[in-house]
Amino acid sequence: MSQQFEPTDIRSPLSADQLEVELRAIGEARYHHRHPFQLALQNGELSKAQVQAWALNRYYYQSMIPIKDASLMARLHDPELRREWRQRIIDHDGHGPGEGGIQRWLALTDGLGLDREMVVSTGKILPATRFAVEAYVHFVRERPLVEAIASSLTELFSPLVINTRVSGMLAHYAFVSEQTLAYFKPRMTQAPRDADFALDYVKRHALRVDQQQGVLAALRFKCDVLWSMLDALDYAYVAPRRIPPGAFDPEVDG
């Protein structure tokens, strides 16, 4: 797809450590820890219906992550790399029924009182959620491999949200518990492990200027994916609270 990105102003190749500095600066500026919906979520300012809408839409993201990772793994010709990347799929899909990150996300939507069939069907998510998540999968299939791997680097910044999100939600919302938030606990070790691997790969393989511009653009793109998902939730369910046709309506579906 003809994705156009603003070029990063790099004239000559950065050192690996300079590249890391640039990547971390993008996360600091653009990761969704700064988004008003994220702040409202962790500060206890959302209604149960708004938290339901978030969990329902985020389920689609969670459910597509192994498909994204399998798409990426299908492009890796080195068994060692594939073994490394495979762990991500195991984390999300588990070793058997009832296990893995997707199941733990469903424990959250169950705990919020959402109908499981509705959640799993994804029929009531916001179109903007679907389009953003699909853009991520297509990106990973179509862009140069080092950019596909770099697009996972938002995980470098997940410590910026997971702890505050969990503690904030537990403190403020009677309708969540440590049990329903079980998804997040393993992520606190999985995400940094995955991010370290991907960052090391990117630092070793993005050596030319065009590659470095590409990986910086890839991380901006991925931040846009997460940000636009929260924009759409904020618009539909917070203010001006305009639910698009056919999407989850808490008064009907909640």
Q: Which residues bind a copy of itself (CB under 8 A)?
A: 1-6, 29-30, 36, 64, 67, 121-124, 126-128, 130-132, 134-135, 137-138, 220-221, 223-225, 227-228, 231-232, 234-236, 239-240, 242, 244-246
Q: Shortest approach of a copy of itself to residue 34 CB, angstroms?
A: 8
Q: Shortest approach of a copy of itself to residue 114 CB, angstroms?
A: 16
Question: Among residues 162 and 236, whose Cβ is nearest to a copy of itself?
Answer: 236
Locate 48 and state its tokens: 């149960």
Locate 52 and state its tokens: 């339901």
Q: What's the DSSP call for residue 22?
A: H
Locate 165 and state its tokens: 């999100």
Q: What's the DSSP call for residue 141?
A: H
Question: Among residues 16 and 120, whose Cβ is nearest to a copy of itself?
Answer: 120
Map residue 104 onto helix, strand or coil: helix
Count of beta carbons in the 10 Å neighbourhood of residue 210: 11
Q: Shortest approach of a copy of itself to residue 189 CB, angstroms?
A: 29
Cα–Cα distance for residue pair 75/137, rounded to 1 Å = 13
Question: Among residues 4 and 77, whose Cβ is nearest to a copy of itself?
Answer: 4
Q: Shortest approach of a copy of itself to residue 120 CB, angstroms?
A: 9
Question: Among residues 148 and 166, whose Cβ is nearest to a copy of itself?
Answer: 148
Question: Among residues 64 and 198, whose Cβ is nearest to a copy of itself?
Answer: 64
Cα–Cα distance for residue pair 137/72, rounded to 1 Å = 9
Q: Shortest approach of a copy of itself to residue 178 CB, angstroms?
A: 31
Question: Hey, CA dihedral for 146, 63, 186, 45, is it positive or negative?
Answer: positive
Locate 140 and state its tokens: 């990973």
Q: Which of 153, 156, 210, 198 is nearest to 14 (CA)?
A: 210
